[in-house]
């Protein structure tokens, strides 16, 4: 097994070549990798069955087994994903701005790859192919560190990608898998700042917290979403019910799902019974403050902790407020800076919410479920950033690039 240091060096070396690949060469390679995934489908399924068997023996929950399991359809979807990425416009080489300075220097700002991207993720093996495709399309080398449950599947998928790269005449070190899935190796990877330019963790709050805490490499934090919907005193009730229903129940386990409701006191008596009816029909438990519980005896009393919880489950918290200011204070206190929405017909309240909520995506009269690279028109998504540096919100291909200044002179010296 290769050392981590060796993997870092190989990736760094590969990144120099990848940065210079033309769009046509990259797209050809992505298509070859897609074909290789289909070609090697049997081997991938076989490896995946080993992973599933071992995980079952280790007592892994069936919901996680489902995320781990591959089928011919899922492998086809992975291959289709590579082809979709090949069809996206390539951001590399774009000159974002170019100016002529008073002294005759021409200064341009050009989009270039980040270099080497490290990805640490959990059980889904499809992330292996996805992450490779996005990093490769943007001229980056990628070092992958997936979960132990999926290690055999990941090895088989990476072998297929290597076959595709080889056929396209591209260095296979464009994607390197760390086969040692111990926690020590993950921690060591987080200190590999000589070789890795950016680290992107994808997974639960525990993983992301550990990376944030330990990494000496710049990190892009993705993911946790304690998203709010505030029903203003001037809300259209039907719209509010439709949006809450969609934002809470369309998918329970994703980061842009609504986890907490805030209701204006003036409409609470009329709105809350309708809300209960709607969400109860979908099996959603509502944990609410005293005032709401007084209106609807079916609610469970909420604790302080409820307001801070991303349930990812059939539960939602609820608080009644006396003003939009109180709503904004509450949301900014408990949100994870991901996505929050107001439902209102009032112009000033809509603008105020847009201005004062601190989150990656702030909605007026729409479901928080739209926070997503595809819904935002980016064509692909490497994750949703909840930090403020570099990228905020859904990250498309541009989030995997940086810029460099290119300066054209004819002998200028500084006075």
CB of 390 closer than 8 Å to CB of 360: no
Query: What are the C-alpha distances in Å from 181 to residues 135, 154, 156, 209, 211?
Result: 21, 11, 15, 18, 15
Q: How far is the CB of 10 from a copy of itself (least distance, A)?
A: 16
Q: Between 53 and 404, name the residue whose CB sits nearer to a copy of itself.
A: 404
The DSSP-derived string for 32-63 is HHHHHHHHTHHHHHHHHHHHHHHHHHTT--HH
Spatial CA neighbour of 190 closest among 15, 6, 4:
4
Of the candidates 25, 84, 193, 346, which one interacts with a copy of itself according to CB under 8 A?
A: 193
Return the structure tokens found at 57.
Answer: 């023996």
Of the candidates 39, 179, 180, 242, which one interacts with a copy of itself according to CB under 8 A?
A: 242
CB of 165 closer than 8 Å to CB of 172: yes
Residues 93-112 that bind a copy of itself (CB under 8 A): 99, 101, 105, 107
Asked if 398 interacts with a copy of itself (CB under 8 A), we say no
Q: Which region, judged by CB under 8 A, interacts with a copy of itself, from 52-60, 152-160, 311-319, 357-365?
A: 357-365
Q: How far is the CB of 411 from a copy of itself (least distance, A)?
A: 5
Q: Between 151 and 327, name the residue whose CB sits nearer to a copy of itself.
A: 327
Q: Which region, judged by CB under 8 A, interacts with a copy of itself, from 59-67, 213-221, 273-281, 286-294?
A: 213-221
Q: Between 90 and 245, name the residue whose CB sits nearer to a copy of itself.
A: 245
Q: How far is the CB of 354 from a copy of itself (least distance, A)?
A: 5
Whole-number Å distance between alpha carbons of 62 and 361: 33
Q: Which is it for the CA torsion 32, 37, 39, 43, positive or negative?
A: positive
Whole-number Å distance between alpha carbons of 270 and 266: 9
Whole-number Å distance between alpha carbons of 139 and 21: 7
Q: Determine the size of the site formed for a copy of itself (CB under 8 A).
A: 64
Q: Between 53 and 191, name the residue whose CB sits nearer to a copy of itself.
A: 191
Q: Which region, judged by CB under 8 A, interacts with a copy of itself, from 47-55, 123-131, 226-234, 381-389?
A: 381-389
Q: Which region, judged by CB under 8 A, interacts with a copy of itself, from 83-91, 127-135, 285-293, 368-376?
A: 368-376
**Helix or strand holding residue 176 (H, E):** strand 175-177
List the beta bridge partners of residue 117. 142, 198
Side-chain-facing half-sphere of 265: CA atoms under 13 Å: 10
Spatial CA neighbour of 358 closest among 331, 385, 327:
331
Residues 2-21 that bind a copy of itself (CB under 8 A): 16, 20
121 burial via Cβ count (<10 Å: 0-12, 13-18, 19+): buried
Asked if 347 interacts with a copy of itself (CB under 8 A), we say no
Q: Which region, judged by CB under 8 A, interacts with a copy of itself, from 46-54, 170-178, 240-248, 287-295?
A: 240-248
Q: Between 53 and 274, name the residue whose CB sits nearer to a copy of itself.
A: 274
Of the candidates 216, 277, 323, 348, which one interacts with a copy of itself according to CB under 8 A?
A: 216
Neighbour order of strands in the sheet with 198-202: 175-177, 141-145, 116-121, 198-202
Side-chain-facing half-sphere of 285: CA atoms under 13 Å: 10
Q: Which region, judged by CB under 8 A, interacts with a copy of itself, from 41-49, 236-244, 278-286, 295-303?
A: 236-244
Structure-token match 């490497």, residue found: 382
Q: Which region, judged by CB under 8 A, interacts with a copy of itself, from 28-36, 275-283, 313-321, 371-379?
A: 371-379
Whole-number Å distance between alpha carbons of 88 and 380: 8
Residues 261-300 that bind a copy of itself (CB under 8 A): none
Q: Between 130 and 197, name the residue whose CB sits nearer to a copy of itself.
A: 197
**Rounded to a whole number, what is the distance in angstroms from the first to the last CA of the chain?**
56
- Here's the x/- map for a copy of itself, 171-190, by CB under 8 A: it reads as --------------------
Asked if 374 interacts with a copy of itself (CB under 8 A), we say no
Whole-number Å distance between alpha carbons of 151 and 57: 15
Asked if 78 interacts with a copy of itself (CB under 8 A), we say no
Query: What residues line the site for a copy of itself (CB under 8 A)?
Result: 16, 20, 99, 101, 105, 107, 114-115, 193, 197-198, 212-213, 216, 218-220, 236, 239, 242-243, 245-247, 250, 332, 354-356, 358-367, 369-371, 375-377, 387-390, 392-393, 402-414
């Amino acid at each position: 097994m290769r050392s981590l240091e060796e993997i870092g060096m190989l990736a760094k070396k590969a990144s120099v070549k990848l940065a210079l690949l033309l769009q046509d060469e990259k797209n050809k390679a992505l298509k070859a990798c897609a074909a290789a995934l289909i070609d090697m489908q049997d081997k991938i399924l076989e490896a995946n069955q080993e992973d599933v068997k071992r995980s079952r023996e280790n007592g892994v929950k069936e919901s996680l087994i489902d995320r781990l399991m591959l089928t011919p359809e899922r492998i086809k979807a992975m291959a289709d994903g590579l082809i979709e990425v090949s069809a996206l416009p390539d951001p590399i080489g774009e000159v974002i701005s170019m100016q002529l300075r008073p002294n005759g220097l021409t200064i341009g700002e050009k989009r270039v790859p980040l270099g080497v991207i490290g990805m640490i993720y959990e059980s889904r093996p499809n992330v292996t192919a996805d992450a490779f495709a996005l990093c490769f399309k943007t001229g980056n080398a990628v070092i992958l560190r997936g979960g132990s449950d999926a290690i055999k599947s990941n090895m088989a998928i990476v072998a297929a990608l290597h076959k595709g790269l080889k056929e396209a005449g591209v260095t296979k070190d464009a994607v390197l898998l760390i086969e040692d899935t111990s926690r020590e190796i993950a921690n060591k990877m987080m200190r590999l700042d000589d070789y890795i330019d950016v680290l992107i963790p994808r997974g639960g709050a525990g993983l992301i917290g550990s990376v944030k805490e330990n990494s000496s490499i710049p990190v892009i934090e993705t993911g946790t979403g304690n998203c709010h919907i505030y029903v203003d005193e001037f809300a259209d009730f039907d719209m509010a019910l439709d949006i809450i229903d969609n934002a809470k129940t369309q998918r329970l386990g994703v980061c842009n799902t609504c986890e907490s409701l805030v209701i204006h006191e003036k409409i609470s008596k009329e709105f809350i019974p309708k809300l209960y009816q709607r969400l109860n029909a979908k099996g959603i438990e509502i944990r609410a403050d005293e005032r709401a519980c007084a209106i609807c005896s079916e609610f469970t009393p909420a604790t302080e902790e409820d307001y801070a919880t991303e349930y990812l489950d059939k539960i939602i918290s609820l608080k009644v407020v006396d003003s939009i200011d109180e709503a904004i204070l509450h949301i900014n206190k408990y949100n994870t800076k991901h996505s929050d929405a107001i439902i209102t017909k009032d112009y000033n309240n809509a603008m105020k919410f847009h201005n004062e909520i601190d989150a990656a995506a702030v909605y007026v009269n729409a479901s928080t479920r739209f926070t997503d690279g595809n819904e935002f028109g980016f064509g692909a998504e490497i994750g949703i950033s909840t930090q403020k540096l570099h990228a905020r919100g859904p990250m498309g291909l541009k989030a995997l690039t940086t810029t460099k200044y290119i300066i054209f002179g004819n002998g200028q010296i500084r006075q």
